[in-house]
Every structure is written in C-alpha cells, then in structure tokens.
Amino acid sequence: MQHYLLSIYQPAGDPPSPELLEPVMRKVKALVEEAKAAQVWVFNGGLHSTDSATVVRVKDGSPLTTDGPFIEGKEHIGGFMVIKVPDLDAALRWAGNLAQALTLPGYPDSLPIEVRPFRHLG
C-alpha cells in the first residue's frame, strides 16, 4: 500500500458563508466515513487561516520564531487528508471524490487538490 497526501488548496480571504459551507462539511464527513470503512483513511483535518501560522527555524545556531505563514500567497493549504491505497489511480479517485465533496453548492468548479506520494512514513 502506498500513502498519499491530498492537500486542499484554498484562496486567501474570508471563508464562504456558513450556509454555503454547511453542506460541504456534511459531504466531507460522509466521504471520511466512507474512506474509514474502506480502510483507506489515515488522517484528515482542516486548518485555521494562515493568520494563525507561526514559523520557527534555527538561525545562527539559535531558534528564531516569526509571525508566519512561511509563504504569502493567493492560495494556501486549508486542509488535507492522508490515505493509503494500492496505486495512483486509486488515490486520484479518492481525490476526485474529495474535490466533488468540496464543491460549493451552485459552483461548477472545486478547490484544487494536490496528490503527492509519501517517500517514507514515521
């Protein structure tokens, strides 16, 4: 089995209204249940906005903490899911289902999801 990281990219700015978001959250929850039942799910979660991010590094031998995000961009990772499946085709199918679940009611396009294989675990 191969582990894949499915990163959900969302645009910077305010999240959609609760009425729009509610059906999305419901669909994602159903998808997570389905992935758990299929023994595909490893982990998933949604993140607070990048305003809440902090960057830590070692600089000249000492830890340095700065207000982050590390990269300011028009898009950032808003959440992710880790799955374990036999191959990329299976991973792409789950990513497709996740993209479907993330589509806001009345919108034809979803957020983009980046699929990346893990080199190793732990």
Partner 1 sequence: MFREEYGRAVAVLVRRFGDIDLAEESVQDAFTVALERWPSAGLPPSPAGWIITTARHRAIDRVRREASRADRQASAAELGASGEPIEESGMPDERLRLIFTCCHPALAPAAQVALTLRLLGGLTTAEIARAFLVPEATMAQRLVRAKSKIRDARIPYRVPEPADLPARLGTALAVIYLVYNEGYLASAGTELSRDDLSAEAIRLGRLMNELMCDEPEVMGLLALMLLGESRRAARTGPAGELVPLAEQDRTLWDRALIAEGQALVRRCLARNQPGTYQIQAAIQAVHSDAPLASATDWRQILQLYDHFMAIAPGPVVAVNRAVAVAEVDGPAAALAVLDRLGLETYYLLHAIRADLLRRLGRHREAALAYSAAIARTDNAREREFLQRRRRDLE
Candidate residues 20, 38, 71, 88; the one interacting with partner 1 per rule CB under 8 A: 88
| Closest by Cα among 50, 87, 84 to 69 | 50
Closest approach, Cβ 58 to partner 1, in A, equals: 29
Closest approach, Cβ 120 to partner 1, in A, equals: 11
Closest approach, Cβ 63 to partner 1, in A, equals: 33
**Residue 100 is a binding residue for partner 1 (CB under 8 A):** no
**Residue 114 is a binding residue for partner 1 (CB under 8 A):** no
**Residue 14 is a binding residue for partner 1 (CB under 8 A):** no
* DSSP conformation letters of 44-98: EEE---GGG-EEEEEETTEEEEEES-SS--SEEEEEEEEEEESSHHHHHHHHHHH
